């Protein structure tokens, strides 16, 4: 069974009756799926552990799949919203779009659709700014970075500045491929995200 199929099955497993009442859905790519890391070591896993200590009414549903684009996210978000009824959604997508040279306007349109789907389901949203490699030149990278700022402002949601950019230039923080952060970097990635989502962690249980 390949990884994508396994992740899709996990998303449809029954939720434990003992689960915390409020869920935080992470819709991301390899940066959030734990690519190249031992189980339990990704920043999302560490977020789950931190929630257990500091916000025990919350639990994480990790819907991240390595290689996903914003278009893949659009195919998967609505079923995940209907299944898990999250109170919060973190969208960490766009890096793979940028690696393929997807026009910024297309990335923007897809992100807006994702955000509005989550909002329509009653969730608050945080948008994690994607890292952009310099493959397509500075103007392209600047256009992609700007669209995250613009989308977050226009949709009135939280924007988390690039949460991997600092670790990417720090010694000893990247895997051999120089694209994915290693285990040492995951705590710093979580620390970069946490201040932006912590004020949103007010648990209001939805009625089914």
Q: Which CATH number goes with the domain that contains 96?
A: 3.40.50.1110
Predicted local confidence at residue 37, as pLDDT: 97
Predicted local confidence at residue 8, as pLDDT: 47
Q: Are 123 and 116 in contact (CB under 8 A)?
A: no
Instruction: Flag whether 208 is in a domain.
Output: no
What number is the average pLDDT over the span 3-32?
Answer: 67
Full-model pTM: 0.89
CA dihedral sign, ordered 109, 113, 119, 125: negative
Instruction: Flag whether 5 is in a domain.
Output: no
- The active-site residue, picked from 20, 23, 30, 32, is 30
What number is the average pLDDT over the span 27-40?
Answer: 97
Work out the mean pLDDT of the chain and round it to a whole number. 91
> Quick one: pLDDT band at residue 67, thresholds 50, 70, 90?
very high
> Quick one: pLDDT band at residue 18, thresholds 50, 70, 90?
very low
* Catalytic residue list contains 191: no
* Catalytic residue list contains 177: yes
Q: Provide the domain count of the chain.
A: 1
User: What range does the domain containing 167 cover?
Assistant: 21-200
Query: In whole angstroms, how far apart are CA 41 and each of 49, 54, 90, 154, 199?
Result: 10, 19, 19, 34, 24
Q: Residue 76: in which H helix or E strand, if any?
A: helix 70-84
Asked if residue 10 has pLDDT above 70, the reply is no
* Catalytic residue list contains 20: no
């Amino acid at each position: 069974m390949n990884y994508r199929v396994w992740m899709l099955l996990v998303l449809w497993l029954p939720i434990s009756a003992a689960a915390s009442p409020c869920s935080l859905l992470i819709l991301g790519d390899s940066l959030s799926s734990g690519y190249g890391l031992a189980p339990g070591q990704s920043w999302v896993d560490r977020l789950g552990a931190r929630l257990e200590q500091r916000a025990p009414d919350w639990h994480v549903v990790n819907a991240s799949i390595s290689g996903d684009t914003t278009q893949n996210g659009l195919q998967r978000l609505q079923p995940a919203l209907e299944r898990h009824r999250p109170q919060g959604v973190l969208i960490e997508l766009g890096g793979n779009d940028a690696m393929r040279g997807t026009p910024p306007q297309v990335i923007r349109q897809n992100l807006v659709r994702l955000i509005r789907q989550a909002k329509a389901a009653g969730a608050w949203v945080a948008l994690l700014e994607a890292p952009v490699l310099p493959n397509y030149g500075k103007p392209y990278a600047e256009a992609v970075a700007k669209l995250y700022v613009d989308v977050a402002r226009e949709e009135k949601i939280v924007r988390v500045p690039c949460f991997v950019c600092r670790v990417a230039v720090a010694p000893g923080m990247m895997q051999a491929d120089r694209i994915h952060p290693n285990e040492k970097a995951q705590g710093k990635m979580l620390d970069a995200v946490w201040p932006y989502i912590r004020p949103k962690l007010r648990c209001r249980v939805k009625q089914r």
